């Protein structure tokens, strides 16, 4: 019989399914156009205008009637009389009649009567008032028609799109000054542990410098969230309870780090269960088994992430990161590029448990980093990425093709 995980450990797949069922994108908000890049549209964008809104020249040359160039060649040119000039923002005030041409610049309005633009390279300037067309052209040649780029009433950008720089440019061309995007989730990080020193300090005595909060802050930003605050709380249940009560009405999620297991100084699970719900406390995942997941006020997700840095990173990526991305209107999937390579050596796991294994690439092979445990964050720094051993496997075999999730974010 296949061994089962400990009773108190939930399956990773079940936890992810629960989180997905209880997470929806936040409502939309209007942001200035200049701040909209990389945000997610909360509603589709329909163009209120034609682009261009007038017929314009796509080339430097002469606005003409195409029929006047019929049969023109370099050896048998057609003479045309130049009657004016059209520049961007300064249209020719008259009309083009048979046998006439208007010198025109790229982007200038096409004058009435003209139906084509003869490129300057296809003409011979005889004098200031006459040119010779050396090639025949067809109606519409080198003219940008009204609405050729974007038509009035056209859906240009769908809801859910992550705005790229060129999208922002087109929004500007359509006249938008603000854009409706999914609101960025406000996320607080709560750090507990009397043994911890804030980042920027130097480790001394029996104290260590907290590395989880700056790592988590960067992950939240990567995933479309906005850091509300980092709260430092002593190992004191009353202080922790007050901190949570102050945050719950002003944030969309809380990440706890440290004090999340079952030790005598680990109060976080007690406080979350008291003030809300904690349906998950313990997952069949290595590293990161003590992770806890719950909700405050039924809609504010909270994550009790282990204090060991690698376990903190692992559990954030498996659970919290997906929730923050979904709240921000992004996809649930990991923001990592995935490649497939051959495994150099065996990786041993356990049935019913998911293993997160840091690896390095050596040519076409993958080499696991077995040194160091969940406390050694340097293993993720020296690693190129990680391999996941699924719960249904107790090992990955040498030579097996495995998916490597690269730490470089795409």
C-alpha 358/C-alpha 356 separation (Å) is 7
What local confidence, expressed as pLDDT, does residue 194 receive? 67
What local confidence, expressed as pLDDT, does residue 200 receive? 67
What is the CATH T-level fold of the domain 336-409, as seen in this structure?
Beta-clip (2.40.340)
- The residue length of the chain stands at 410
C-alpha 196/C-alpha 202 separation (Å) is 11
Return the C-alpha torsion angle 312, 308, 17, 218, nearest 10.
Answer: 0
- Helix, strand, coil distribution of the chain in percent, nearest 5: 20, 35, 45
Domain with CATH 2.170.190.11 in the chain: 56-144
What local confidence, expressed as pLDDT, does residue 377 receive? 84
Domain with CATH 3.90.105.10 in the chain: 28-51+149-182
Q: Which of 306, 286, 260, 293 shows the shortest CA–CA distance to 387?
A: 286
Domain with CATH 3.40.980.10 in the chain: 12-26+184-327
Largest Cα–Cα distance in the chain? Answer: 99
What local confidence, expressed as pLDDT, does residue 4 receive? 37
What local confidence, expressed as pLDDT, does residue 265 receive? 56
**DSSP tally for the chain: helices H, then strands E:** 8, 28
For residue 104, what are its two tokens?
A: 């025109």
Half-sphere exposure of 71 (CA within 13 A, CB side): 4
C-alpha 338/C-alpha 227 separation (Å) is 28
Task: Please list, in sequence order, all residues whose beta carbon lies within 8 angstroms of the beta carbon of residue 108, skipping any fewer than 6 positions away.
Answer: 56, 57, 86, 87, 88, 89, 90, 91
The partner residues of 124 in beta bridges, in order of sequence, read 132
Q: Which CATH class is domain 28-51+149-182?
A: alpha beta
What local confidence, expressed as pLDDT, does residue 371 receive? 63
What local confidence, expressed as pLDDT, does residue 9 receive? 86
What local confidence, expressed as pLDDT, does residue 315 receive? 97
For residue 375, what are its two tokens?
A: 């406390």
Residue 257 carries which DSSP code?
E
* SS3 (DSSP) at 288: coil
Q: Which CATH class is domain 56-144?
A: mainly beta
What local confidence, expressed as pLDDT, does residue 197 receive? 63
Q: Which CATH class is domain 12-26+184-327?
A: alpha beta
For residue 88, what are its two tokens?
A: 């961007």
* Strands (DSSP E) found in 258-369: 277-281, 285-286, 292-296, 300-305, 336-343, 347-348, 354-362, 365-368
The tens place of each residue's pLDDT in the chain, 410 residues long, gives 333 333 458 999 999 999 999 999 999 999 999 999 999 999 999 999 999 999 999 999 999 999 999 999 999 999 999 999 999 999 999 999 999 999 999 999 999 999 999 999 999 999 889 999 999 999 999 999 999 999 999 999 999 999 999 999 999 999 999 999 999 999 999 998 766 667 666 666 666 778 899 999 999 999 999 999 999 898 889 999 999 999 999 999 999 998 666 655 578 999 999 999 999 999 999 999 999 999 999 999 999 999 899 999 999 999 999 999 999 999 999 999 999 999 999 999 999 999 999 999 999 999 998 766 666 888 999 999 999 999 999 999 999 999 999 998 65
């Amino acid at each position: 019989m296949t061994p089962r995980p400990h009773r108190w450990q939930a399956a990773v797949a079940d936890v992810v399914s629960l989180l997905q069922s209880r997470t929806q994108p936040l409502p939309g908000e209007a942001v200035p156009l200049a701040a909209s890049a990389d945000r997610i549209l909360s509603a589709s964008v329909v163009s209120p205008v034609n682009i261009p809104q007038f017929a314009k020249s796509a080339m430097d040359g002469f606005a003409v009637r195409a029929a006047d160039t019929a049969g023109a060649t370099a050896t048998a040119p057609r003479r045309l009389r130049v009657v004016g000039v059209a520049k961007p923002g300064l249209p020719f005030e008259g009309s083009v009649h048979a046998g006439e041409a208007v010198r025109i610049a790229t982007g200038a309005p096409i004058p009435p009567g003209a139906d084509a633009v003869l490129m300057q390279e296809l003409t011979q300037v005889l004098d200031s008032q006459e040119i010779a067309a050396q090639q025949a052209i067809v109606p519409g040649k080198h003219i940008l028609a009204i609405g050729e780029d974007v038509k009035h009433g056209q859906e240009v950008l769908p809801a859910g799109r992550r705005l790229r720089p060129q999208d922002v440019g087109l929004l500007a061309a359509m006249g938008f000054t603000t854009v409706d995007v999914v609101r960025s989730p406000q996320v607080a990080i709560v750090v507990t542990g009397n043994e911890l020193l804030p980042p920027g300090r130097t480790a001394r005595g029996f104290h260590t410098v907290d590395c989880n909060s700056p790592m988590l802050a960067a992950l939240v930003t990567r995933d479309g969230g906005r850091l509300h605050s980092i709260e430092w709380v002593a190992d004191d249940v009353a202080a922790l309870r007050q901190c949570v009560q102050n945050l719950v009405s002003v944030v969309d999620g809380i990440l706890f780090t440290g004090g999340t297991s079952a030790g005598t100084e680990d109060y976080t699970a007690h406080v979350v269960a008291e003030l809300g719900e904690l349906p998950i406390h313990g997952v069949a995942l290595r590293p990161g088994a003590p992770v806890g997941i719950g909700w405050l006020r039924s809609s504010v997700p909270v994550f009790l992430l282990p204090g060991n840095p690698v376990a903190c990173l692992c559990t954030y990526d498996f659970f919290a990161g997906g929730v923050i991305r979904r709240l921000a209107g992004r996809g649930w999937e990991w923001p990592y590029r995935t490649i497939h390579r051959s495994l150099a050596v065996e990786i041993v796991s356990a049935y019913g448990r998911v293993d997160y294994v840091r690896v390095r690439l050596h040519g076409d092979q993958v080499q696991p980093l077995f040194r160091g445990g969940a406390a050694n964050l340097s293993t993720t720094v020296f690693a190129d990425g990680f391999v996941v051993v699924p719960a249904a496997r107790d090992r990955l075999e040498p030579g097996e093709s495995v998916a490597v999730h690269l730490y470089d974010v795409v």
